Amino acid sequence: MVRSLSNVPIFANEIFNQLYKNMRILLLGSGGREHALAWKINQSVWTNPLYIAPGNPGTSQFGINVNLDITDFEAISAFCISEKIEMVVVGPEEPLVNGLCDFFQTNEALRKIYFVGPSREGARLEGSKAFAKAFMERNHIPTAGYREFTSETYEEGVKYLQEHSLPIVLKADGLAAGKGVVICHNYLEAIAEFELMIQQSKFGEASKKVVVEEFLDGIELSVFALTDGKNYILLPEAKDYKQIGEGDIGLNTGGMGAVSPVPFATPGFMHKVEERIIKPTINGLQKENIDYRGFVFFGLINVKGDPFVIEYNCRLGDPETEVVIPRLENDIVGLFVATFNGELDKVTVRVDPRAAVTVMAVSHGYPMGFEKGFEITGLGENFGKESLLFQAGTKEENGKVLTNGGRVLCITSYGKDIEEAVNTSLDMLNYVNYEGIYYRGDIGYEFIKH
């Protein structure tokens, strides 16, 4: 059955929603992002039932966890067929970069499933830095100047580095678990890193090709679009805090917290973002016949009031999702249906005007080595209407929830402003505990007046 929305002007139409009450949904992933998505999908009038593969103990509050390997396409296919799944929502990038969308499209039994996530070609925006840079160049999208090198052009690369201004940014072309970007502050370091990446395969296949780019000095933010390939909607913007230490010091992590809205993302700045970056990206995808129905994550940097693209991702961010999704008021499954059907032009985004902040609690030692398996207490606390607890690296054993990763859980709170929201999350963190718990107390610091 094709569920067309063409005659339905608004999603808030309750009678319309009543008509479409059953959608069997499979969500792929297991982190805090997926817990937040499961929370939101579960609120949809369409959802019945929701499965999460593999999920975590948190996602099982909102659906049924299924023990599936999300890189095993045959297993996903068999599950979708046996459970009559009607919609698949992909959280992480890996299955998309490996072509899960194409796998669905070319399989007769799966092609009618509402698949949320780009084709393999679209996912190359994240899966290949060189592809993303060339795409931006072709479509005149502002980004740092660059060159790409392989072992064949290694000597030329070394020469290029020696003449480059400092600092120099080196990027492994392929996926490198978030570790493939190295910012070098002198030539010795840059050449050594370049050699490690290309000649010593530091990141395996991923660093056989290396992008060398200019360093852009500014403040970063994350902007998310949901596109059907020709139309798009913008979700609330966010800023994440990548470094382990308060005041943005120390090693990079997967993200220690996030805030939304971002105060410097004024209407004037966001207008530039849309005109110079979002529209040319969506138009570029369409012009180049790249099938893209899903989220585009624009990692941007504000350089003296002008936005530049640092990176694209083909998915939502983590922990940004844990603040973006709680602020989105639309029925998310309705948005996904419109995405699949190419009808996002009929949608009006509604956003909760309150600020949202999430604070990530991690394991002692993270992002270096850490121990797992500590019992987490306080998860059953009543966090009230202002706060939400999302689990990330957790597992359940004998009825207990244990730590099972570097980033363990996060608490998102709403507030009239960032300060109020972060203070609520920090208060709530007093109720949860596990051995070695660590979190940053300063998320959103630069937006708080003292």
Q: Does 161 bind ligand AMP (CB under 6 A)?
A: no
Q: Does 30 bind ligand GLY (CB under 6 A)?
A: no
Q: Does 130 bind ligand AMP (CB under 6 A)?
A: no
The amino acid at residue 189 is E
Q: How far is the CB of 169 from ligand AMP (least distance, A)?
A: 4
Stretch that binds ligand AMP, among 6-14, 148-156, 210-218, 428-436 (CB under 6 A): 210-218
Q: Which of 193, 237, 240, 322 binds ligand GLY (CB under 6 A)?
A: 240
Q: Which of 148, 173, 320, 322 binds ligand GLY (CB under 6 A)?
A: 320
Nearer to ligand GLY, 85 or 316 (CB): 316
Determine contact, residues 136/129, Cβ cutoff 8 Å. no
Which residue has tokens 């090693």? 251
From CA 310, how far away is CA 240, in angstroms rounded?
14
Say how many residues touch ligand AMP, by CB under 6 A.
12
Nearer to ligand GLY, 58 or 92 (CB): 92
Token pair, residue 104, equals 């669905």
Nearer to ligand AMP, 102 or 311 (CB): 311
Q: Which of 313, 330, 339, 363 binds ligand GLY (CB under 6 A)?
A: 313
Q: Does 311 bind ligand AMP (CB under 6 A)?
A: yes
Phi, psi of 272 (to 5 degrees): -60, -40
Q: Which of 95, 255, 405, 444 binds ligand GLY (CB under 6 A)?
A: 255
144 binds, among ligand AMP, ligand GLY, none (CB under 5 to 8 A by kind): ligand AMP
Q: Does 310 bind ligand AMP (CB under 6 A)?
A: yes
From CA 293, how far away is CA 297, in angstroms rounded?
13
Q: Does 237 bind ligand GLY (CB under 6 A)?
A: no
DSSP assignment of 287-337 equals HTT----EEEEEEEEEETTEEEEEEEESS--TTTHHHHHHHB-S-HHHHHH
Stretch that binds ligand GLY, among 76-84, 128-136, 310-318, 358-366 (CB under 6 A): 310-318
Q: How far is the CB of 31 from ligand GLY (least distance, A)?
A: 9
Residue 278's closest CA among 235, 248, 319, 239?
Answer: 235
From CA 201, how far away is CA 364, in angstroms rounded?
30
Q: Which of 122, 299, 334, 406 binds ligand AMP (CB under 6 A)?
A: 299
Q: In angstroms, what is the C-alpha Rg of the chain?
A: 22
Stretch that binds ligand GLY, among 13-21, 68-76, 261-269, 316-324 (CB under 6 A): 316-324
Burial of 333 (0-12, 13-18, 19+ CB in 10 A): buried
| Measured CA distances, 276 to 186, 217, 261, 268 (Å) | 32, 19, 21, 12
Which residue has tokens 């402003």? 417
In sequence order, the β-bridge partners of residue 25 are: 50, 87
Max alpha carbon distance in the chain (Å)? 66
Q: How far is the CB of 10 from ligand AMP (least distance, A)?
A: 36
Q: How far is the CB of 343 from ligand AMP (least distance, A)?
A: 32
Phi, psi of 135 (to 5 degrees): -60, -45
Strands 394-397 and 400-403, sheet pairing: antiparallel
Q: Does 213 bind ligand AMP (CB under 6 A)?
A: yes
From CA 256, how far away is CA 175, in angstroms rounded?
21
The amino acid at residue 219 is I
Stretch that binds ligand AMP, among 85-93, 209-217, 230-238, 343-351 (CB under 6 A): 209-217
Token pair, residue 219, equals 């403040």
Stretch that binds ligand GLY, among 16-24, 49-57, 317-325, 403-411 (CB under 6 A): 317-325
Q: Which residues bind ligand AMP (CB under 6 A)?
A: 144, 169, 178, 181, 213-216, 220, 299, 310-311
Q: Which residues bind ligand GLY (CB under 6 A)?
A: 240, 255, 313, 317-318, 320
